A and B are shown apart, each in its own frame.
Chain A
Amino acid sequence: MSDDLDDLKAALTAETPKPDSARKAANLALAQKNFDALQGSRDDTRLTTDRPRKGLFSGVRQMFAMTTTRGGLVATSALVAVGLVTLTPLGDALLTPRDVSDVLTRPAPEVVQKEVEAEPTEPLVEVPVPAPAPVAEERASDVAAQIIGGVVLNEAVSGQMRARTARPLSAAPQAAQAPAFSRLADDQIAPLPESSTESFANEPANPVKVVGEEPVSTFSVDVDTASYSVIRNSLSNGMLPPADAVRIEEMINYFPYDYTAPDGDEAFRPTVSVSQTPWNADTQIVQIGIQGTLPDVAERPPLNLVFLIDTSGSMNQANKLPLLKQSFALMLGQLRPKDQIAIVAYAGSAGQVLEPTPAGEKEKILNALERLEAGGSTAGQEGLQQAYSIAETMQEEGEVSRIILATDGDFNVGLSDPEALKTYIERKRDSGTYLSVLGFGRGNLDDATMQALAQNGNGTAAYIDTLSEAQKVLVDQLTGALFPIADDVKIQVEFNPAAIAEYRLIGYETRALRREDFNNDKVDAGDIGAGHQVTALYEVTPVGSPAILNDPLRYGVAEQTVADSDGLGFLRLRYKAPGEADSALIEMPISADLTPAPDAGFAMAIAGFGQLLRNDTYLGDWSWGDAIALANANKGSDDYGYRAEAVQLMRLAQSLSAQ
């Protein structure tokens, strides 16, 4: 008898595969991340447990909460073994996900998301968003209870196998159910955190630098605003954004400021101003603003646009593909009859959905957009190649071609080598086609890839979370988003060691350049579109100020050459006219007697907002209240209401971080 057992055991040992090492590393990282996320909110989560709960399982949960004796634990655990916990598959973090207050105070636990694209039925089954899970599960369990009453399940059989066999039999009803389900989920449970396989591109905050040791600071401009929209989306959903999602320069650049417009043929005009630092009485803020020229819109060259649209299964949510269709429809109204549009969809197999069509034929374009449906997995690279080749056929002398990639970030299938993709985009960039990236939806937003694509493709990355953001990006600022006026814009600031002891650049961590790259025209940098603005803030500590953080060196003082001892420093800008290979240089001194820009206060309030979100250490006891007061006092005319919205978000963040 026991021979069988021994045989089995030997067979089992032989059969057991080694865990996949990549999966292992990923799983360990995932666990660690969830562990860290849990630590941050440990205290917060306790505070909410006395809130009345609804639903079948509150009793069990209550029991868990109340029970301290060993006997009690065993009793409760026994219930668990009976199978109640099967309704709460991912542990108690998701026990009653409808209980919003509970979720609000926790960072979203990383929830596993599987093969959503590969298995079109699985949005119902595996539910990429944890929020709808309880609905599905409760329904499911009702049915299950009925089934179990009548038939014994052979549960050893994998459910995935069933899913596969089942699809052909019931594809139609499922297709009908799916949208209804996602609508339901969005309406009822929208403010819940989504699961995430998100990744964000960021670097640690720039450190304070000693002018005597490193007087020159070099970076590339950045007109992206994606980070601000992601932050808004997180806060509106009742969560503080992950610190890595916060790129302060993108927050500051989200807002229009009152800068002097360029004269005549100038591509742009830099403005430098100096003001008192709100969070430190002993330092100053040097604000560098760049206003791009707004060429006569009536005379803009015709535009060739290729929409490259991600229609993978994960796009099938109200805030993804449907929002994308609405956004592009909005944008159509801004285009001229001479502009041309083509649409390429990528998912499973890439394909041209609409051949190059004059923007005048709205009906045809809207119909093609309307036909797009989510399904299949993402073959981004192939789609991108097709989009570039279509853009090349559309290109004529004097026209601007641009690919607009709209995705939720899943850009993985068929992409064997991210470096190869980057190289590919860089090569295409040199052929004159620009690439912009629009991010939609949260959950698997791959911000890092989006940033990489847009930065290498000489384009902008924006994140569209609402129709009003689409209005801002695709209607109000369309010209800037689509017409570059200066390529590879680099900023270099040299500080005067006689006047400034220390400085720190606020934001632009991901845009740092080496000092020698400034004059190297081969090194790529950010582009400025028509009417774009770029704002950069330095916090500088004057010589002799009590706020100096670094002690002077004990041995060997850095040599100081005091040139003009009045100025704070010197600003250099390099840029290329679109399509040119050689750069032009603009130079201007930063003198000490510069006055604050009229709305400097608002830029500083936003810089403070970003630093508070990142928990940066330079703010002392400057608080949310201070940031809100400063922003409120500097709202200015605020024609579009962006600044009022920012104050609302700060207030939300204040409440959320107080929990």
Chain B
Amino acid sequence: METSDESLAIAAATGDRVAFSTLLERHYDRIFALAFHLTGRQADAEDLTQDICAALPAKLASFRREARFTTWLYRVVVNAAHDRRRRLATYQKATEGWGDWEVNRRAVIDEGEDRSTWLMQAMSALGNDLRDTLALILDDLTHAEAAEVLEVSEGTISWRMSEIKKQLAQLRAAEEQV
């Protein structure tokens, strides 16, 4: 019988090496998949996963038995993805003058357009919040679980999902016109 994630996480938080390794092994692919859905590029997903692996031992201390481990883990991944986006964006700003910024932004938008697949375009057309929500829902979380991960109300998730559907429909319509 498999030991539950929660028991493993508690054991790992108190220093059990084997438990930690088992736990991470079990969830690595899931972390990576979510990281990919949140970032949309394999290289970014790899880097994000590495960040998460590096920080996970310290983070485990904040795990509480009341929470489901996967929910907690998803939250860690989503937060790490937020961190990363924000960090990459703000670092970039900090190293440049104001004048460059707009030019740069245009350039990035152009570059973004070579995201070839419909999927990537659809994903990146959504804002961050919608995108995070969508990634979680597509990962088979219920609205309630996604709400818990993103720390918003269930109603917000439902609203976001309807928003996403609306935008996807527009996208689809635009695509069919071409």
**Interface of A with B (CB < 8 Å)?**
1-2, 4-5, 8-9, 11-12, 15-17, 19-20, 23-24, 26-28, 30-32, 34-39, 42, 70, 73-74, 77-78, 80-81, 83, 85-86, 88-93, 109-112, 114, 121, 124-126, 136-137, 139-141, 143-144, 147, 153-166, 169-170, 173-174, 177
Q: How far is the CA of A571 from the CA of B109 in the complex (A)?
A: 74
Point out the residue from B15, B37, B44 that lies within 8 Å of A39, measured CB to CB: B15
Q: Is B95 an interface residue (CB 8 A)?
A: yes
A110 touches B126 (CB 8 A): no
User: Nearest CB to that of B126 among chain A residues?
Assistant: A156
A124 touches B100 (CB 8 A): no
A165 touches B111 (CB 8 A): yes
Contacts of B88 in A (CB 8 A): 125, 158-160, 162-163
Contacts of A35 in B (CB 8 A): 12, 17, 20, 56-57
User: Nearest CB to that of B37 among chain A residues?
Assistant: A12
Point out the residue from B53, B54, B89, B169 that lies within 8 Å of A153, measured CB to CB: B89
Q: How far is the CA of A165 from the CA of B111 in the complex (A)?
A: 9
Q: Is B28 an interface residue (CB 8 A)?
A: yes
Given A15-B117, A156-B40, A165-B104, answer yes or no on A139-B128 (Cβ-Cβ < 8 Å): no
Given A28-B53, A90-B54, answer yes or no on A15-B119 (Cβ-Cβ < 8 Å): yes
Task: Add 18 more A-B contacts to A34-B55, A162-B88 (CB < 8 A).
Answer: A1-B165, A5-B168, A8-B168, A11-B118, A19-B49, A27-B28, A35-B17, A35-B20, A89-B51, A90-B54, A90-B55, A109-B55, A137-B90, A154-B108, A154-B112, A156-B85, A157-B109, A169-B96
User: Nearest CB to that of A133 among chain B residues?
Assistant: B87
Point out the residue from B39, B57, B84, B151 that lies within 8 Å of A78, measured CB to CB: B151
B86 touches A20 (CB 8 A): no
User: Nearest CB to that of B162 among chain A residues?
Assistant: A1
State the interface size on chain B (CB cutoff 8 A): 85
Interface of B is mostly: helix
Contacts of B82 in A (CB 8 A): 83, 85-86
Identify the interface centre among A83, A90, A174: most chain B CB within 10 Å of its CB: A90
Nearest CB in chain B: distance from A369 CB, A = 29
Q: How far is the CA of A173 from the CA of B117 in the complex (A)?
A: 36
Nearest CB in chain B: distance from A121 CB, A = 7
Q: Is B59 an interface residue (CB 8 A)?
A: yes
Q: How far is the CA of A174 from the CA of B165 in the complex (A)?
A: 43
User: Nearest CB to that of A91 among chain B residues?
Assistant: B55
Q: How far is the CA of A591 from the CA of B68 in the complex (A)?
A: 70
A91 touches B58 (CB 8 A): yes
B42 touches A17 (CB 8 A): yes
Chain B 112-149 interface mask (CB, 8 Å, partner A; 1/0): 10000111101110111001001000100000000000
Q: Is B107 an interface residue (CB 8 A)?
A: yes
Q: How far is the CA of A15 from the CA of B119 in the complex (A)?
A: 8
B20 touches A177 (CB 8 A): no
Given A32-B20, A92-B59, A161-B108, answer yes or no on A12-B119 (Cβ-Cβ < 8 Å): yes
Interface of A is mostly: helix
Q: How far is the CA of A19 from the CA of B124 in the complex (A)?
A: 21
B66 touches A159 (CB 8 A): no
User: Nearest CB to that of B66 among chain A residues?
Assistant: A70
Q: Is B150 an interface residue (CB 8 A)?
A: yes
Nearest CB in chain A: distance from B66 CB, A = 7
B17 touches A161 (CB 8 A): no
A92 touches B58 (CB 8 A): yes
User: Nearest CB to that of A26 among chain B residues?
Assistant: B50
Contacts of A173 in B (CB 8 A): 96-97
Nearest CB in chain A: distance from B60 CB, A = 8
A160 touches B44 (CB 8 A): yes
User: Nearest CB to that of B152 among chain A residues?
Assistant: A81
A80 touches B91 (CB 8 A): no
B46 touches A8 (CB 8 A): no
Q: How far is the CA of A105 from the CA of B39 in the complex (A)?
A: 35
Contacts of A16 in B (CB 8 A): 33, 36-37
User: Nearest CB to that of B38 among chain A residues?
Assistant: A156
Given A28-B25, A154-B105, A170-B97, answer yes or no on A159-B169 (Cβ-Cβ < 8 Å): no
Q: How far is the CA of A42 from the CA of B151 in the complex (A)?
A: 29
Nearest CB in chain A: distance from B129 CB, A = 10
Contacts of B42 in A (CB 8 A): 17, 20
User: Nearest CB to that of A94 among chain B residues?
Assistant: B55
Contacts of B164 in A (CB 8 A): 5
Q: Sample 22 A-B pairs with CB under 8 A, ordered by A number.
A: A4-B165, A8-B134, A17-B36, A19-B46, A19-B49, A23-B49, A24-B32, A86-B83, A86-B86, A89-B51, A89-B87, A91-B58, A109-B54, A121-B95, A137-B90, A140-B90, A140-B91, A140-B94, A165-B108, A166-B100, A169-B104, A170-B95
